[in-house]
Structure 1
Amino acid sequence: MREGLVINREEEGWWLVEAVVDETAKTLFEDLLNNETDVMMEVIISHENNDPATMVGRVRSTRPLENGFAILIDSKMAMKKEDVFNYILDSLIADGYTGDQLIEEFRNRKADNASWSQQMARSLYEQYREKGSPLSR
């Protein structure tokens, strides 16, 4: 992706992601559009120093540009920051941490938020494959 824009549509949690990609990605996104395939993505909202937000969406349209290709994707948040923290806590409890050790290890794991977000995104992807798309609900 060369550049993009993320817009909160303020309609029951829907977002619009616009991305400009190289012509080489055209076939991929046209296939996603034609097959109505869900795509999971990480986007940065508002500021480049923000943690990536994980979204699930479907390509709404594609459009050729002079130097690339524009894609519009209707999306919903797949997880929020608090979901990642809950995921970390659940993993700590499953690993047997309690008391002060739990607090200390939570702080350590929370510092590596990006890695935990990726793990949770993989887990969500598998859930969506098994149970269906959250966009259809």
Structure 2
Amino acid sequence: MKTFKLKKLIVKEGIEAKLLQHEIKLLDGLIINREDEQNRWLIEAFIDQSYLEFFKRLEEERQEIMLEVKITKESNPPATFITNIIGVNEIGDRMNVLFMGTIVDRRIHYIEDLLERLVKEGYKGEELLRKFKAIL
């Protein structure tokens, strides 16, 4: 297992065909690559208890939750995870939220989107390959 510092947490929530982003002010946090067969990560956010109602609601809905996080440094690019809440714990006037999930490889999505765009623009065969390599 590898453990990293959680520097930023954004919860992305779909409500009525809109994607709402909730930036959660962290007091502290960890993110652990479990390196298991399912390629799961454990994310712990230590936060103010003012978020209790929000996270209890998400936990009760039992739906997958998309997170965007920054790991180790604020300057790092964000990583996207598809998670479930596995615990919400009150700790005095603070709380922690535990998520379990998998990382979304944004590079694959970028490449798929790029190829789709080039095909729509009419590129094909060798011309498609040359244009694709030139952009990457």
* TM-score bracket for this pair, using the shorter chain length: 0.5 to 0.7
Aligned-CA RMSD value: 2.4
For 2:32, the equivalent position in structure 1 comes to 7
Q: 1:33 aligns with which of 56, 59, 63?
A: 59
What per-residue deviation string (whole Å, max 9, x for no partner) do you get for residues 55-107 of structure 1?
A: 11110001113342210001111334233233223223223356465555x35
Q: Which has the higher strand share?
A: 2
1:78 aligns with 2:100: no
Structure 1 portions without partners, runs of 5+: 108-137
1:66 aligns with 2:117: no
- Cα distance in structure 2, aligned partners of 1:89 and 1:35: 36
- The aligned runs of 1:40-51 (5 Å cut-off) are 40-51=66-77
TM-score (norm 1): 0.63
Q: Which has the higher helix share?
A: 1
Decide which structure has the larger Cα Rg and report it.
2
Q: How many residues align?
A: 106
Identity of aligned pairs, percent?
25
